[in-house]
Structure 1
């Protein structure tokens, strides 16, 4: 290892230790513009799909929108750059990498993309969610490793209540009931939070002892319990009755398949998308989900597929990732 490489390694280690000992840096920047751009992207716009623009050029990495009923139409590109983005009811969360040492800003955006608050945390951006009314925010970072396929990966997932200001920078200490019994372990990792309409119930993935579980959490009681094994990155339907998740079905480069889960019966249904999807799907409407897929030869696109196992996948938005619906 060269002297420069050793120095970067030491710096990274020191910053991680400092971050662990001092916690998260919380900034309040009311009314400060996060970025300026050529388009007008508003998070309170109705009937739009918000996404991260991945088309080559000056708009790469910026937030963008297209009409919900015409997703193939010309996109409106704003000025705010995000590595992961999500929004609902005029509130957005934008994950932005900070530099060569693993670190990310979690930026809370208002309807005009003004930066309202910002959290400095460790790791690389991975997942982001906002509850349907814009109150609850969550994010997941890779803090070690860079893929769910690696045995050494570790995550850090945070939750913010924008109404009360309550911030939980890492939810791994939430009391967990696993298979009906209280459970504690040093290797517990959470990721992929999705919120119910009551802003209290949430679902997420937990991994421990080499296994993944779907959990249901109670935010006010601050508890979580497992519901089943082998369910990752859940996404709750608009009516709160179903989850779409990715299930590990293989190995190598095609390990996951999208499934839907009826929460009343716990019956699962494989979706018609046969390709491996490493994403937290989002609901396009009450019957359809959308998700990002890497394109052969480079680039990303957003695809959609019916949530009941019927039909076939279709290309929704080319050169896009991290989609979210801004409903009518």
Structure 2
């Protein structure tokens, strides 16, 4: 059949209409999926937009992971009755968050030239951004020192988790007095088992700060081993203390760290332990599930950590357990991200 100019025009018009219909269907389907994902679950937490203040006493501030329009936003609830409380929701969303001393650090996803990008925002007590720093990869950990002066963050430069056989991290520490940034802890001097050490495969993650705004603890990884290190920001040195310690978190009294201990090699299974920094004696906690998180201390007796709500779930719940190995785990918050920070807590 000979295609006349008129027939060619008709075929072209039909093709354009079909493509437009497919495009519209795709857009509407994506919007429908997004709406379904953002639809609050029956029985889920209630929300009210409002002010989240990092200095308001008696509140827990955390990243909301419950489905709905406030997914990933920073929210707060009463510390003495968090379950079932209406969540006060801010307009700020974060992939990782931590706060102390009226300072917050929020690691965010954004776009640059049409491509995914990430940034760290240092926040004041009213969640206003004081400074913004570009990140080299996917956000992983964030911490603020008890005074609010120092902030730290870890990102994955390649790879997606600590359970991956091939990953690289970059950890930075920021001094907000003068805004001096130590952009990569790998530039610090390392003392391993009493001797100076250098190796191209060194990685750091999971910083936690002491009250002197100089001493910090973190995980060092090299040659398929992980170490707890104690560091000095002023001296730009780190010294190993013991092995098989990941994502430490220093207790309010400065005598212990809660951490995840690898118990099954490359299967990436961890158990929560507490290490006495004076004796280096480790105590397994009552939580028997694998916890891939940097826990926080709610007080000197209780730690909190996040676990997936269910297998394959895109949301977490926050659990607590006594820090002395006794008791049983219990849910503190449903649909919550990285463990909450009690406003005013050390």
For normalisation by structure 2, the TM-score amounts to 0.82
Structure 2: how far apart are the matches of 1:39 and 1:304?
Answer: 27
Instruction: Structure 2 unaligned segments of length 5 or more: list them.
Output: 1-47
Structure 1: how far apart are the matches of 2:170 and 2:324?
Answer: 32
C-alpha deviation, 1:98, in angstroms: 2.2
Q: Which residue of 2 aligns with 1:67?
A: 78
1:56 is aligned, of 67, 88, 98, to 67
- Within 5 A, what are the aligned runs for 1:142-157? 142-157=156-171
C-alpha deviation, 1:65, in angstroms: 1.0
Alignment partner of 1:64: what SS? Answer: strand
Q: 1:189 to 1:180 in 2, by over 3 A?
A: same
Q: Which residue of 2 aligns with 1:190?
A: 204
Q: Which residue of 1 aligns with 2:330?
A: 314
User: Is contact 1:283–1:325 with CA below 8 Å preserved after alignment?
Assistant: no
Q: 1:252 to 1:296 in 2, by over 3 A?
A: farther
Q: Which residue of 2 aligns with 1:26?
A: none
Q: Which has the higher strand share?
A: 1
Structure 1: how far apart are the matches of 2:101 and 2:294?
Answer: 20
2:195 is aligned, of 169, 172, 181, to 181
**Segment drifting more, 63-72 vs 94-103:** 94-103
C-alpha deviation, 1:327, in angstroms: 2.7
C-alpha deviation, 1:164, in angstroms: 2.5
Q: Which residue of 1 aligns with 2:30?
A: none
C-alpha deviation, 1:254, in angstroms: 6.0
The answer as to 2:122 corresponding to 1:108 is: yes
Q: Which residue of 1 aligns with 2:31?
A: none
User: Is contact 1:102–1:123 with CA below 8 Å preserved after alignment?
Assistant: no
User: Is contact 1:293–1:300 with CA below 8 Å preserved after alignment?
Assistant: yes
Structure 1: how far apart are the matches of 2:49 and 2:90?
Answer: 6
Alignment partner of 1:172: what SS? Answer: helix
Q: 1:262 to 1:88 in 2, by over 3 A?
A: same
- The CA deviation string for residues 174-232 of structure 1, in whole angstroms up to 9 with x for no partner, is 00000111000111100000000001100000101111100000111111010011000
C-alpha deviation, 1:251, in angstroms: 4.6
Q: 1:199 to 1:208 in 2, by over 3 A?
A: same
Structure 2: how far apart are the matches of 1:288 and 1:101?
Answer: 41
For normalisation by structure 1, the TM-score amounts to 0.86
C-alpha deviation, 1:243, in angstroms: 0.4
Alignment partner of 1:98: what SS? Answer: strand
1:40 is aligned, of 51, 55, 59, to 51
User: Is contact 1:250–1:256 with CA below 8 Å preserved after alignment?
Assistant: yes
Instruction: Structure 1 unaligned segments of length 5 or more: list them.
Output: 1-36
Structure 2: how far apart are the matches of 1:74 and 1:309?
Answer: 32
**Segment drifting more, 157-166 vs 196-205:** 157-166
Alignment partner of 1:220: what SS? Answer: coil
- The CA deviation string for residues 100-132 of structure 1, in whole angstroms up to 9 with x for no partner, is 856311000111111110000211010000011
User: Is contact 2:137–2:155 with CA below 8 Å preserved after alignment?
Assistant: yes
C-alpha deviation, 1:165, in angstroms: 1.3
Q: 1:250 to 1:290 in 2, by over 3 A?
A: same
Q: Which residue of 1 aligns with 2:43?
A: none
Alignment partner of 1:266: what SS? Answer: coil
The answer as to 2:287 corresponding to 1:305 is: no
User: Is contact 2:192–2:240 with CA below 8 Å preserved after alignment?
Assistant: yes
2:341 is aligned, of 320, 324, 327, to 324
Q: Which residue of 2 aligns with 1:77?
A: 89
**Structure 1 segments (4+ residues) deviating >2 Å:** 98-103, 251-254
